[in-house]
Amino acid sequence: MLKQLTSLVCISLVVLNALAHNNGLALTPQMGWDTWNYYGCSISEQTILDAAQGFIKYDLPKYGYNYVVMDDCWQAPARNATTGAPIADPTKFPSGMKALADQIHSMGLKFGIYSSAGMYTCGGHFGSLGYETIDAQTYAEWGADYLKYDNCYNEGQAGTPKLSYDRYANMSFALNATGRPILYSMCNWGEDGPWNFAPTIANSWRISGDIYDNYNRFDERCPCLSMIDCKLAGYHCAMTRIIDFAAPVGQKAGTNHWNDLDMLEVGNGGMTYDEYVTHFSMWSILKSPLILGNNVLNMTNETLEIITNDAIIAVNQDSTGSAAERMWKVPVFSGGDLSSWSGSLVNNTFVIALLNTSPETQYVTVNFTDVFIDQGPSYQTGTYVIYDLWQKDSAGAWGKDIGTYTAAIPDVEIGMHQVRIWKAVPASTNSRRDLAEL
Ligand code: GLA
């Protein structure tokens, strides 16, 4: 009897303490939009509804985008003085959060909210440290489906993985205890190595300081070249800097727990077409959440074309959930470097990428000995049908068959700041079915 009682207590403890990462969400990296990169603090009910309207106008849910996330600066000056519950700014959100969430839901979309695991948010509004339970409950009552949870004003509760884990786990428990599935998107900028401590508590975690809409500019505010041996996350991190941060930690992610490379800048104007193609491609193959950060109510054809490339999105959303890895990286004399990446996809297919961050056109032979270093000799000498995921086939679909290659793809020309993303299908298994999956 005592034994039975003990196991019952254990089971209830497990249930009580269940963490939010195991909430059935983010089986593949989440996709959506967030207010911050485009609007900063200038948000209101209208900006959120405009974005939701943009989702419908451009048919974005068809491609997988479904979360509309309201970032910082939605809060009233203070919490409810009696209950401690969070309150939305009544001027910016006159209808209230529940009505806003209802409206987003009625459009077939999901609603995300933001707070910080600190006294204040980064924008100086009230944070959730010490208020995890009431905040999670209130978000659930409002109908939130997603929480982005920041790291500002954390009162020194950081500096070791244990301190960060405990602080973020509190919200994970609180979210789970609401009974509402709420995707938990941690945003502690890579501090204390969330790829090591967060996979069991969150659906995703930011790996670096804030992205800046620039290809490669070095900025003292983002001083590290790696997040492994350099502590200061900073902000104003150029896009290719974040690719370098992500390279060593890709395999820490997987189904329901992802490395978040930060919100996309595609469409915000700071990069060229080729650079945005690189941005979207690399975020996709590294299995980052794809959270748009531009004005989604008004997009140019170019922007729309990039963010709706369904062959690239399919790589991001591939059910194996395995991030591509950097196979090699060589510096280029004039600056930047050339690197080769590969990753596994379902049905024994693969993604291969070539990235040229140098200011010059490069010529390179992609050897299958490098691509298939993990798979071994039979793969390295194999024959593959190669699809270029940034070219369209004769029917206008992304993913053009560019030929059959054995042992290497020779003499690839790749221009300045360009990327090549290929899907490799073993020739023996290539079929219409594989084509349809592109
Ligand atoms: C931090 C986060 C950003 C954004 C702002 C809001 O800088 O990293 O993504 O949420 O706070 O203040």
| DSSP state string for 392-412 | E-TTS-EEEEEEEEESEEEEE
Atom of ligand 1 nearest to the CA of 210: 8
Whole-Å CA distances, 203 to 69, 180, 182, 220, 288: 15, 15, 10, 30, 11
Q: What angle do CA 248, 27, 294 make, to 5 degrees?
A: 75
Whole-Å CA distances, 10 to 5, 57, 208, 223: 9, 50, 37, 46
CB-ligand 1 contact for 71 (6 Å cutoff) = yes
CA of 398 to the centre of ligand 1 (A): 34
Q: What angle do CA 82, 87, 92 make, to 5 degrees?
A: 145
Is residue 422 within 8 Å of 280, Cβ to Cβ? no
- CA atoms of 48 and 92, how far apart (whole Å): 11
Q: What is the pLDDT of residue 22?
A: 85
Q: What is the pLDDT of residue 14?
A: 44
CB-ligand 1 contact for 74 (6 Å cutoff) = no
CA of 321 to the centre of ligand 1 (A): 26
How is the chain split into domains, by residue range? 20-316, 325-436
Q: What is the pLDDT of residue 429?
A: 85
CB-ligand 1 contact for 187 (6 Å cutoff) = yes
- pTM of structure: 0.95
Which stretches does DSSP call E strand in 236-356? 258-260, 290-292, 325-331, 337-345, 349-356
- CA atoms of 134 and 2, how far apart (whole Å): 35
CB-ligand 1 contact for 150 (6 Å cutoff) = yes
- CA atoms of 227 and 249, how far apart (whole Å): 10
Q: What is the pLDDT of residue 431?
A: 56
Q: Just list the catalytic residues.
A: 150, 210
Picking from 183, 161, 174, the residue whose alpha carbon sits closest to that of residue 23 is 183
Low-confidence ranges of the chain (pLDDT < 50): 1-3, 5-16, 432-436
Q: CATH second-level architecture of 325-436?
A: Sandwich (2.60)
Q: Whose CA is nearest to atom 3 of ligand 1?
A: 210
Q: Which listed CATH number (3.80.10.10, 3.20.20.70, 3.40.50.720, 1.10.760.10) goes with 20-316?
A: 3.20.20.70
CB-ligand 1 contact for 123 (6 Å cutoff) = yes
Pocket test for ligand 1, best of 37, 69, 70, 72 (most atoms within 8 A of CB): 72
Read off the DSSP letter of residue 61.
G
Pocket test for ligand 1, best of 42, 125, 187, 232 (most atoms within 8 A of CB): 187
Radius of gyration of the chain (CA): 22
CB-ligand 1 contact for 36 (6 Å cutoff) = yes
